[in-house]
Amino acid sequence: MRKIAFLTALLAAMVAQPVGATLNASKPDNEMNRFISNLMKQMTLEEKIGQLCQMPDGYITGPDNTQVSLAPLISEGKIGSLLGVCGVAETRKFQDAAMKSQLKIPLLFGMDVIHGYTTGFPLPLAEAASFDLDAIEMSARCAAREAAAAGLHWTFAPMVDISWDARWGRVMEGAGEDPYYGAKVAAARVKGFQGENLADTATILSCIKHFGGYGAPMAGKDYNSVDMSLSHFANFYMPPYKAGAEAGAATFMSAFSDLNNVPCTANSFLLRDLLKNQWGFEGFVVSDWGSVGELMNHRYASDSRDAALKAISAGLDMEMATQCYADNLAELVKEGKVPMKIVDDAVRRILEQKYRLGLFEDPYRYCNEEREREVIGSQKSRDEARYVAERSIVLLKNDHNILPLSPDVKKVALVGALSKSKRDMCGSWTCADVDQTVTLYDALINRGLTVDYSDGYDMEQNRISNLSQTLASARESDVVIVAMGERASYTGEMASRGDIAISDEQQRLVAELVKTGKPVVVLLMCGRPVIFNQVKEEAPAILCTWWLGSEAGPAITNVLWGEYNPSGKLPMSFPAHNGQIPLNYQYKSTGRPTANGGWSTRYRDITTEPAYPFGYGLSYTTFDYSDPKVEASTKPGEYATVSVEVTNTGKRKGEEVVQLYVRDEVASITRPIKELKGFEKIRLEPGETRIVTFPITDEQLGFYDNDMKYRVEKGDFTFMVGSDSKNLKSTSFTLK
Ligand code: NOJ
């Protein structure tokens, strides 16, 4: 292993420095802290500030106004991290530049590895539909393994922003609308990326983003202001961030937006008080792209110097893409405006992560061409991608058990350009090798079927094309498979939409196909909940297949023919009308509850009911639920248990996500009518019964009050168990 020359010298003269993870705490006297203290003693102020600067190159994912030549700056120790640079050859080139610097501090390479690396996995929202935390962890682990083999150290994932607004383009990148579930998914993803030990070269640093509340932009417009009470934030948006920190996430990213009238990038309540002090987060916080400079656009900073002052003071350690720190921090420190200990704290946090990755031992340990060749795009990755993709599919409708298709089906009329588009199949925000994607069309051909393909609909022109030909091919077929929905590029960053309904023309095409009398299966391809009321009524079978990545085609056909029995559940409510948005299942009762009718909270022209509720998804088999039973518990920390018997009453083996919801009947602040507080995915053979038991602890009963204090109040609770957020059986409990 290559060692950095100064390492031994430094280790020889180690003196512990009392610079804490939080500013006042002293660090334990261990090898890492001694090493970093000694290194920091040798660093000039400029070199320290260099560690706080991250610059883009390669994949550019934001406005790039920097126009600087990176290698010379790196060799001067003025850049600590690069984003968007990947591949062993490229990362090695820049690491070489870092090794020319006085102290040879290695660069950290970060990139948006959002759902798989070269092997594309389902969109995070799709994966969340699996309600399978092991599968979700597996996906992150595979992404980390491939990204690390490409020289990367750090992913800007997972995005854990809760959202109730399907117009917001970034819902594709999160786990949906529920804070309890979002917290579990956040922890699973962190574990997948970081593994047990960051020194393992198959792991990378994760980044919890976007802290905090970025998923609630007003009117669903990306980057828009966020306005909510702090207890609302604590109860409905904060849990996944906190779970990410507790799972050991190495980094956090601040949101572009504001919270409580302070831009998150300079929000000391979020970054300093909550994250670093209260939660004891020891990693570092990176800004979002240019968001330190954007403090001026927020009209929160008067110039770039003011922006740097406000961000660093609030606890923002590394600046991404803009150079407010590089241009101003040295002067601010010299003038005494920024205490040296704040800069030191930020530098230490960054160096610690470099140390944990083993980069001081060998800055090139992620640069191994042979590993890059072997790991990236391997069969293991492809198998895992298909496994996760199958589990992400949600069966929305299956009249007359049209699905699964019979093995006798030989001739398929395949309609819809999305079914053939490798690019779309990968979804947005992807690193996947598009050419290696197996589309639905490819997979049908690979199964030896006769496929009569028609575009059916022109997505750019928004009109049906060659209808008579499409209908003729449908009439000749055993089954019609229609891919409809949105292009992959309709979701992602800067991709909010004011109307998430599928166009009338696209829906009319399905209606025309249904009229042929042939069995019609609709595959809904999308990165967000979409509205398709006509298709919902008229198509006999609908599968939500989202965007599933490199193995999309085989995963979909395995589900169509029943080799995998679909088990996904919707992680976001699907609205029936745009006017319902924002939409969530855990709304509050209000003084005039919707259920009362009459003078109640509702619309005069549209229903308040979603098209499909949170947690909804069918199977090729059926499950029966007993009435749930609650029993007081004697276990420490456990108040009671709720159990339910679930029986597979159909003819196929299948998996079911058994869901527990809780309502606090009367509380000291207004509380939702129900909240998910437990779930278990079980597999049952035909006729098999399983008892599922949920422990009832503080986590199930408590909430944050208006002072953001977590409390559990005595009184009555209703526990509801069932297969989705609407289809529930209940029991009650009194906490004395
Ligand atoms: C902006 C996005 O909001 C963020 O999620 C991403 O990680 C950065 N750009 C870097 O690409």
Chain segment 325-378, per-residue pLDDT in tens: 999 999 999 999 999 999 999 999 999 999 999 999 999 999 999 999 999 999
- Quick check: 502 and 485 in contact, CB under 8 A? yes
From the CA of 159, how far away is ligand 1's center (Å)? 10
Q: Are residues 545 and 641 in the same domain?
A: no
Question: Which burial class, exposed, middle or buried, applies to 612 when counting CB atoms under 10 A from its CB (0-12, 13-18, 19+)?
Answer: buried
Q: Are residues 359 and 391 in the same domain?
A: no
Specify if 35 maps to a domain.
no
pLDDT, tens digit (0-9, with 9 covering 90-100), for 545-602: 999 999 999 999 999 999 999 999 999 999 999 999 999 999 999 999 999 999 999 9
Of the candidates 307, 339, 372, which is a domain's last residue? 372
Ligand 1 close to Cβ of residue 209 (< 6 A):
yes
Per the listing, tokens 């600590």 go with 80
Q: Would the pLDDT of 1 be above 70?
A: no
As given in the structure block, the two tokens for residue 154 are 């750090």
Specify if 595 maps to a domain.
no
Ligand 1 close to Cβ of residue 61 (< 6 A):
yes
Total number of domains constituting the chain: 4
What pLDDT is attached to residue 58?
87
Q: Cα(257)–Cα(247) distance, rounded to whole angstroms?
A: 25
Q: Cα(448)–Cα(483) distance, rounded to whole angstroms?
A: 20
End-to-end alpha carbon distance in the chain? 62
pLDDT, tens digit (0-9, with 9 covering 90-100), for 604-653: 999 999 999 999 999 999 999 999 999 999 999 999 999 999 999 999 99
Q: Cα(271)–Cα(735) distance, rounded to whole angstroms?
A: 36
Q: Which is the closest atom of ligand 1 to the Cα of 159? A: 5
Q: Are residues 142 and 227 in the same domain?
A: yes
Per the listing, tokens 């990947």 go with 86
Q: What share of the chain has pLDDT > 70, as a percent?
A: 96
Strands (E), 357-516: 394-398, 411-415, 450-454, 457-458, 463-464, 479-485
From the CA of 724, how far away is ligand 1's center (Å)? 33
Mean pLDDT, residues 45-51 taken together: 98
Q: Cα(404)–Cα(693) distance, rounded to whole angstroms?
A: 31
Q: 577: cis peptide before it, omega within 30°?
A: no
From the CA of 111, how far away is ligand 1's center (Å)? 9
As given in the structure block, the two tokens for residue 317 are 């350690």
Specify if 71 maps to a domain.
yes
Sheet of 479-485: strand order equals 394-398, 541-544, 520-525, 479-485, 411-415, 450-454
Ligand 1 close to Cβ of residue 466 (< 6 A):
no
Ligand 1 close to Cβ of residue 62 (< 6 A):
yes
Alpha-carbon distances of 367 from 10, 91, 94, 581, rounded to whole Å: 25, 7, 11, 47
Ligand 1 close to Cβ of residue 339 (< 6 A):
no
Q: Would the pLDDT of 433 be above 90?
A: yes
Mean pLDDT, residues 24-39 taken together: 87
What pLDDT is attached to residue 64?
76
Specify if 99 maps to a domain.
yes
Q: What is the CATH number of the domain that holds 473?
A: 3.40.50.1700
Specify if 579 maps to a domain.
no
Q: Are residues 497 and 643 in the same domain?
A: no
Residue-range definition of the domain harbouring residue 677 = 621-735
Q: Are residues 295 and 322 in the same domain?
A: yes
Which region among 65-79, 280-294, 397-411, 573-587 has the lowest average model confidence (pLDDT)? 65-79
Q: Which is the closest atom of ligand 1 to the Cα of 256? A: 3
Q: Would the pLDDT of 535 be above 60?
A: yes
Of the candidates 69, 85, 109, which is a domain's last residue? 109
Q: Cα(321)–Cα(326) distance, rounded to whole angstroms?
A: 11
Q: What share of the chain has pLDDT > 90, as a percent?
A: 94
Residue nearest to atom 7 of ligand 1 (CA): 156
3-state secondary structure 621-683: CCEEECCCEEEECCCCCCCEEEEEEEEECCCCCEEEEEEEEEEECCCCCCCECCEEEEEEEEE
Specify if 680 maps to a domain.
yes
Of the candidates 528, 551, 567, which is a domain's last residue? 567
Residue 295 gets which letter from DSSP?
A: G
Ligand 1 close to Cβ of residue 117 (< 6 A):
no
Q: Are residues 143 and 270 in the same domain?
A: yes
Q: Are residues 479 and 537 in the same domain?
A: yes
Q: Are residues 101 and 114 in the same domain?
A: no
- Quick check: 186 and 206 in contact, CB under 8 A? no
CA-nearest of 447, 512, 521 to 483 is: 521
Specify if 580 maps to a domain.
no
DSSP track, 190-238: HHHHH-S-TTSTT--B-EEEEETTTT--GGG-TT------HHHIIIIIH
What pLDDT is attached to residue 11?
32
Letter string b/e over residues 576-601, b meaning 16 or more CB atoms within 10 A of that residue's CB: bbbebbbbbbbbeeeeeebeeeeeee
pLDDT, tens digit (0-9, with 9 covering 90-100), for 293-303: 999 999 999 99
What pLDDT is attached to residue 21?
42
Residue nearest to atom 9 of ligand 1 (CA): 289
Q: Which is the closest atom of ligand 1 to the Cα of 210? A: 5
CA-nearest of 347, 363, 365, 368 to 104 is: 363
From the CA of 382, how far away is ligand 1's center (Å)? 26
Ligand 1 close to Cβ of residue 161 (< 6 A):
no
Q: What is the CATH number of the domain that holds 148?
A: 3.20.20.300
Q: Which is the closest atom of ligand 1 to the Cα of 157? A: 7
Ligand 1 close to Cβ of residue 429 (< 6 A):
no
Specify if 598 maps to a domain.
no
- Quick check: 472 and 434 in contact, CB under 8 A? no
Per the listing, tokens 């979701």 go with 491
The one catalytic residue in 112, 165, 258, 288 is 288
Q: Are residues 356 and 479 in the same domain?
A: no
From the CA of 293, how far away is ligand 1's center (Å)? 15
DSSP track, 375-414: HTT-HHHHHHHHHHHHHH-EEEEEGGG-PSPPTT--EEEE
Q: Are residues 201 and 337 in the same domain?
A: yes
What angle in degrees, to the nearest 10, is found between the helix axes of 31-42 and 340-356?
130
Residue 294 gets which letter from DSSP?
A: G
Q: Would the pLDDT of 13 be above 50?
A: no
CA-nearest of 717, 615, 720 to 660 is: 720
From the CA of 166, how far away is ligand 1's center (Å)? 19
Question: Which burial class, exposed, middle or buried, applies to 669 when counting CB atoms under 10 A from its CB (0-12, 13-18, 19+)?
Answer: middle
Q: What is the CATH number of the domain that holds 631?
A: 2.60.40.10
From the CA of 61, how far away is ligand 1's center (Å)? 7
Q: Would the pLDDT of 516 be above 50?
A: yes
Q: Are residues 248 and 167 in the same domain?
A: yes
Q: Are residues 276 and 227 in the same domain?
A: yes
pLDDT, tens digit (0-9, with 9 covering 90-100), for 482-512: 999 999 999 999 999 999 999 999 999 999 9
Q: Does the reported pTM lie above 0.75?
A: yes
As given in the structure block, the two tokens for residue 134 are 């092991």
624 noted as active-site residue: no
Dihedral angle at the C-alpha atoms of 503, 505, 507, 513, nearest 10 degrees? -160
Per the prediction, the chain carries an average pLDDT of 95
With bands split at pLDDT 50, 70 and 90, how would you rate the model's confidence at 7? very low
Ligand 1 close to Cβ of residue 112 (< 6 A):
yes
